[in-house]
Amino acid sequence: MITFIISAIITGAITGGLGRLLLPGRQDIGWIPTIFAGIVAALVGGLISHFLGFADRVWLGIVVQLILAVICVSIVANMQAKKKDSKH
C-alpha cells in the first residue's frame, strides 16, 4: 500500500509538472496542487486507456494522461485565480 502511495505521488509530480509545462502561460499554483492534478490525471488517464482497450500501448496511455494533466492543471489554475480575485 505504501508503495502505491509513493508511486502515485511520484507519477503525479511528473505528470502534473509536464502538464504544467505544456500549458501555455503562467500558472500561479503551488507544487502540491500540481501533484494532485497530476495524480488525478494519471488515474483517470489509466482508466480511460483501459476502457478504450489500449492500456497495453504505453505511449497512448501517456498521451492521454498528459492531455488530462494539462486540463487538470488549467482547472486548478483557474480556480486559484478566481479565489485570489474574490479576496481583493
Mind listing the pLDDT tens digit for each residue in 54-77? Answer: 868 888 888 899 999 999 999 999
The runs of H, that is alpha helices, within the chain are 2-22, 31-52, 58-87
- CB burial of residue 82 (10 Å; 0-12, 13-18, 19+): exposed
Q: What is the mean pLDDT of the chain?
A: 87
Which residue's C-alpha cell is 501517456? Answer: 62
Mean pLDDT of 7-29: 88
Rounded Cα–Cα distance for residues 24 and 31 (Å): 17
Grid coordinates standing for 1?
500500500
Q: What is the pLDDT of residue 88?
A: 63
- The DSSP letter of residue 55 is T
d(CA 48, CA 50): 5
- Give this prediction's pTM: 0.85
